[in-house]
Amino acid sequence: MIVIVFLLPHIIPAKELEATEKDIAAFQKIANSLRRDSLPEKADQDNFQPNYAEPSIETYSSQRKLFPFDPNTATTTQWQELGLRDKTITTIQKYLHKGGKFIRPEDLLKIYGLREKEYQILKPYIRIKDSANVGRHVSIKDSFQKEGRTPRLRTERIFATVDLNNADTLALIELPGIGSKLANRIIRFRDKLGGFYSIDQLKETYGLPDSTFQKIRLFLILGNKPLVRININTADAVRLQEHPYIGRAVARSLVEYRLQHGPFKAVDDILKVSSILPDQIKRFIPYLSID
């Protein structure tokens, strides 16, 4: 029976079904009705093509209001009136916030997301005032210029002085190359230390590139805020090892020496702890006290 069932389709040819004209006409009628329902009203069905692309620049032409503007000082509302998308406006604000400046109209093309057509529309209305260069000074000539070429002058922006021991994240973000993440890391590192006694300590902040440090060091000062000190006669090992410069091994050595020889009479007495290297002591001794 299994063999017969298997061979039966090969023995008896299948009957081919052919669509009649009536069937074809019914199918076309249903297809046309579905096609009409899917098109917008008054649309040309023969030329209709669905558009899934991002709205073109012309889509915003009715909403765009053109007027002279300075890209260095334009507000969010002004950018919106000029027809820019919110994402592009955010990119421009971040660029300016990081210390960037638009020197020439063509500099707008640096902004990621700004289309060439948008720039061509805005270009006649760009007015970069001389005030855009305020806060800049001419430095040295480019030493790599070849003879006969027009020398270029590099410019550097002058930033406000920042007190490293009192600055909050907003003040730090104003420095070139410092974003919100780095600003928060600097604050956390400063709190763990108990304050900075040297600007060079800032280089130890996790994730801070040396190139960024070299840019901002000229704008940093140390105010009169005193360091937070640890009493080495009362602090236990847990409290001592929390300091970034001390650690567990040094904290244990300090506590053991204190238990054997009694309280420290002066901070300099830690030099008598032979298990601690002088270079280590030099780093953290400003953060210790006996009071």
**Mean pLDDT, rounded, for 112-123:** 86
Using 50, 70 and 90 to split pLDDT, how confident is the model at 35?
Answer: low
Residue 214 has pLDDT above 60, yes or no: yes
Residue 208 has pLDDT above 70, yes or no: yes
What is the reported pLDDT for 146? 44
**Mean pLDDT, rounded, for 243-269:** 92
Our CA angle for 281, 238, 203, nearest 5°, is: 50
Superfamily in which the 60-129 domain is placed by CATH: Photosystem II 12 kDa extrinsic protein (1.10.150.320)
Structural domain boundaries of the chain? Answer: 60-129, 162-221, 230-289
Which of 36-45, 56-65, 136-145, 242-251 is the least confident region?
136-145
Residue 23 has pLDDT above 60, yes or no: yes
- Measured CA to CA, the distance from residue 68 to residue 79 in angstroms comes to 11
- Measured CA to CA, the distance from residue 171 to residue 162 in angstroms comes to 7
Cα 89 to Cα 118, 174, 286, distances in angstroms: 13, 19, 47
Pair 168, 187: CB distance under 8 Å: yes
What is the reported pLDDT for 4? 82
What is the reported pLDDT for 289? 93
For the record, the structure tokens of 291 come out as 């009071």
pTM metric for this prediction: 0.47
Residue 37 has pLDDT above 60, yes or no: no
**Mean pLDDT, rounded, for 148-161:** 56
**CB within 8 Å of 62: residues ≥ 6 apart:** none
Pair 142, 154: CB distance under 8 Å: yes
Higher pLDDT, 263 or 18: 263
Cα 87 to Cα 90, 94, 170, distances in angstroms: 5, 11, 23
What is the reported pLDDT for 57? 47
Tell me the CATH number of domain 230-289, given options 3.40.50.300, 3.40.50.620, 1.10.150.280, 3.40.50.2300.
1.10.150.280
Higher pLDDT, 72 or 40: 72
- Measured CA to CA, the distance from residue 100 to residue 103 in angstroms comes to 9
Using 50, 70 and 90 to split pLDDT, how confident is the model at 63?
Answer: low
**pLDDT above 90 covers what percent of the chain?**
31
Query: Would 162-221 and 230-289 be classified into the same CATH topology?
Result: yes
**Mean pLDDT, rounded, for 256-260:** 92
186-199 b/e (C-beta count within 10 Å ≥ 16 → b): beebbeebbbbeee
Residue 182 has pLDDT above 90, yes or no: yes
Residue 50 has pLDDT above 70, yes or no: no
**Mean pLDDT, rounded, for 216-238:** 91
What is the reported pLDDT for 18? 61
Using 50, 70 and 90 to split pLDDT, how confident is the model at 101?
Answer: confident
Residue 77 has pLDDT above 90, yes or no: no
Alpha carbon 21 to its chain's center: 67
Residue 16 has pLDDT above 80, yes or no: no
Q: Is 126 strand, coil or helix?
A: strand
Which of 147-151, 244-248, 286-290 is the least confident region?
147-151
**Mean pLDDT, rounded, for 204-212:** 92
Q: Domain 162-221: state its class.
A: mainly alpha
Higher pLDDT, 77 or 289: 289
Using 50, 70 and 90 to split pLDDT, how confident is the model at 148?
Answer: low
For the record, the structure tokens of 62 come out as 């009715």
Q: Which residue has the tokens 């917008």?
A: 40
The DSSP call for residue 69 is B
Q: Say which amino acid occupies 111.
A: I
